[in-house]
Structure 1
Amino acid sequence: MSGKRKGLILIERVLIWALYSFSGFILYTNQGILPTFIITFSRIIYPLSIFWLQIRIKKRTNFLPIDSKMTTSQLWFNLLPVVASLLTVIFSLTNTFLYILEKLINS
Structure 2
Amino acid sequence: MPLPLYDTEKITRALHEAAQQKKVCSVRLFKETGARVIHPYGVCRTKHNKIVIVCWQEYGFSVKSTGPGYRTLLLLECVTVKTLDRRFFARNDFSPDDPLYAEWIFHI
User: How high is the TM-score relative to the length of structure 1?
Assistant: 0.27
Q: Which has the higher helix share?
A: 1
Structure (1 or 2) with the larger CA radius of gyration = 1
User: How high is the TM-score relative to the length of structure 2?
Assistant: 0.27
Q: Which has the higher strand share?
A: 2
